[in-house]
C-alpha cells in the first residue's frame, strides 16, 4: 500500500512539499450537515464505539473539503474506558464521579487501553479501509495534563481550582497520577500506530491553565515522556510515525514546549506564526494557526488571512497549515473549503532540492 497524497507526512518529516498541506482540528463534527444526519440517529458515544460509523464520519471532511489528512473520529476521553471511569457527553464531557482525593487516585485502575478500548483500534482499521490510501490518517490522545484535568475537574473548567489544589497541596500524588497517565496514553497511541495510523497528535488543550513555572515543573516532564515513548516505537514493516504536539494557550509556553523533541509543534492562534517560528527556531516543523473565528468572516478575508499564514510559515523547516484550535460548530462548510483552497493555491517556498549535477 502506498499513499496517494504524501504532502502532510512529508511536511511532518521536515520536507517541503509542492503545496502546503492542510487539515483542520475537529474537521469531522457538528458544522457538517452530513455529520449531523448521522448524529440524529446515534449518540456521540455510540458513534465513537461503532467502527464503521466512525470511519464514515472520518471520511466526510476529506470528500467535502479536500484536506490532506484525515483525523480519526473519536474523543480524547474515551480512553477512560480502560480505567472504568464513566464519562457522559452532554455534548460537553461530564464525569459523574470526578477523581479528587488521595483515596480516589490510589483506587484508580490502570487497564490496558489496547485491549479495553479495542473499538478505537477497530475504528483505525475501518478508517484505513475507508480511506483507501487517499490521504494519511492521524490518531490522537489528550496530553497527560489535559486528560488528568478532566479526571479531576469532572468536566471543563474555567479556573482549574481542583487541579491546582491537588498540584499545590499534594504534588507527589499529582506526579504519580501524571506519570501513570503518561504511561497509559503511550500504550494507547502505540496501539493506534500498530492498528495503522500514519501520524499521531497529542492535544494539550488546557496547558495554558498553568503559568510557565508550574507548566515546566508539573506538566512538561510527563508530556516529554509520552512523546519520547511513542517516538521510540517503530511499527513492524513501517517507518516511525511523526508525533505532533499541540499545547493550547501557548504564546507563553511555546519556548518550553519546544524543548520537547516532537516532530511537529502545534501553534495556537494566540501568537503570530512568524513570532512562533522566532521562538521555536527555523529548524522545527510547525502546524497552525488561523483563528477559527476568521472562518465566520467573508471568503475574501479567509483567503487573505490563510495566505498570510502560509507566507509566514515559509521560514519554518516545514509547515502544516491548520486552525489555531478546533473549528467552531457554527462555521459554514463552504468557508472551511475556501480556507483549504486558499492554502493550496498559495505560492509556497520552493522545495529544497539537492542538485544532482
The answer for 196, left when phi > 0, alpha when psi is -120 to 50, beta otherwise, is left
Sequence-ordered list of residues with C-beta below 8 angstroms from that of 165, at least 6 positions apart, any chain: none
Active site residues: 26, 30, 39, 75, 150
Burial of 59 from C-beta contacts in 10 A (0-12 / 13-18 / 19+): buried
Q: Which is nearer to ligand CP3, 162 or 308 (CB)?
A: 162
Helices and strands: H and E segment counts in the chain = 16, 9
DSSP, res 11: H
Q: Phi, psi (5° rounding) for residue 247?
A: -115, 120
DSSP helix/strand/coil, 264: strand
Residue among 29, 154, 196, 266 that touches ligand CP3 (CB under 6 A): 29
30 lines the binding site for ligand CP3 (CB under 6 A): yes
Cα–Cα distance between 188 and 233 in angstroms, integer? 12
User: Where in 81-120 is the site for ligand CP3 (CB under 6 A)?
Assistant: 89, 91-93
* Residue closer to ligand CP3, measured from CB, 66 or 326: 326
Residues 254 and 276 sit within 8 Å (Cβ to Cβ): yes
Which residues inside 155-174 make contact with ligand CP3, applying CB under 6 A? 156
Give 140 or 317: the residue with its C-beta nearer to ligand CP3.
Answer: 140
Question: How far apart are the C-alpha atoms of 267 and 250, rounded to whole Å?
Answer: 7
Alpha carbons 231 and 214: distance in angstroms, whole number:
25
Closest chain position to ligand CP3 (CB):
205
Query: Binding ligand CP3 by CB under 6 A: which of 34, 75, 116, 194?
Result: 75
Q: Return the closest-CA partner of residue 112 out of 135, 141, 137, 83.
A: 83
Q: Which of 65, 71, 99, 253: binder of ligand CP3 (CB under 6 A)?
A: 71
Q: Which residue from 216, 209, 201 is spatially nearest to 255, judged by alpha carbons?
A: 216
Contacts with ligand CP3, 304-333, as mask; x by CB under 6 A: ----------------------x--x----
Q: How far is the CB of 353 from ligand CP3 (least distance, A)?
A: 33
The one among 205, 250, 257, 287 contacting ligand CP3 by CB under 6 A? 205
Write down the least CB distance from residue 90 to ligand CP3, Å. Answer: 9
Stretch of residues binding ligand CP3 (CB under 6 A), selected from 4-12, 27-35, 164-172, 285-293? 27-35
Q: Name the residues that contact ligand CP3, by CB under 6 A.
A: 25-30, 39, 44, 71, 73-77, 89, 91-93, 140, 156, 203, 205, 326, 329
Amino acid at each position: 500500500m502506498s499513499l496517494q497524497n504524501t504532502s502532510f507526512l512529508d511536511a511532518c518529516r521536515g520536507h517541503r512539499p509542492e503545496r502546503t498541506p492542510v487539515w483542520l482540528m475537529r474537521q469531522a463534527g457538528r458544522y457538517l450537515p452530513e455529520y449531523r444526519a448521522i448524529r440524529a440517529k446515534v449518540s456521540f458515544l455510540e458513534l465513537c464505539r461503532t467502527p464503521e460509523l466512525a470511519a464514515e464520519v472520518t471520511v466526510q471532511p476529506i470528500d467535502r473539503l479536500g484536506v490532506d489528512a484525515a483525523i480519526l473520529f473519536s474523543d480524547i476521553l474515551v480512553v477512560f474506558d480502560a480505567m472504568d471511569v464513566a464519562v457522559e457527553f452532554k455534548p460537553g464531557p461530564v464525569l459523574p464521579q470526578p477523581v479528587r482525593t488521595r483515596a480516589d487516585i490510589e483506587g484508580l485502575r490502570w487497564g490496558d487501553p489496547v485491549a479495553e478500548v479495542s473499538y478505537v483500534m477497530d475504528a483505525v482499521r475501518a478508517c484505513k479501509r475507508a480511506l483507501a490510501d487517499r490521504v494519511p490518517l492521524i490518531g490522537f490522545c489528550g496530553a497527560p495534563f489535559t486528560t488528568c484535568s478532566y479526571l479531576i475537574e469532572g468536566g471543563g473548567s474555567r479556573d482549574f481550582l481542583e487541579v491546582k489544589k491537588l498540584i499545590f497541596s499534594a504534588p507527589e500524588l499529582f506526579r504519580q497520577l501524571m506519570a501513570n497517565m503518561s504511561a497509559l496514553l503511550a500504550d494507547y497511541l502505540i496501539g493506534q500506530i500498530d492498528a495503522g495510523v500514519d501520524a499521531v497528535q497529542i492535544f494539550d488543550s488546557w496547558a495554558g491553565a498553568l503559568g510557565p513555572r508550574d507548566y515546566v515543573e508539573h506538566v512538561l516532564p510527563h508530556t516529554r515522556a509520552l512523546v519520547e515513548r511513542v517516538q521510540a516505537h517503530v511499527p513492524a514493516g513501517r517507518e516511525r510515525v511523526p508525533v505532533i504536539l499541540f499545547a493550547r494557550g501557548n504564546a507563553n509556553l511555546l519556548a518550553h514546549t519546544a524543548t520537547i523533541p516532537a516532530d511537529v509543534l502545534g501553534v495556537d492562534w494566540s501568537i503570530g506564526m512568524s513570532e512562533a517560528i522566532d521562538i521555536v527556531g527555523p529548524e522545527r516543523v510547525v502546524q497552525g494557526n488561523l483563528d477559527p473565528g476568521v472562518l465566520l468572516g467573508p471568503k475574501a478575508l479567509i483567503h487573505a488571512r490563510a495566505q498570510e499564514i502560509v507566507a509566514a510559515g515559509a521560514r519554518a523547516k516545514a509547515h502544516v497549515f491548520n486552525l489555531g484550535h478546533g473549528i467552531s460548530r457554527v462555521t459554514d462548510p463552504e468557508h472551511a473549503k475556501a480556507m483549504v483552497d486558499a492554502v493550496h493555491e498559495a505560492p509556497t517556498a520552493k522545495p529544497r532540492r539537492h542538485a544532482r549535477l
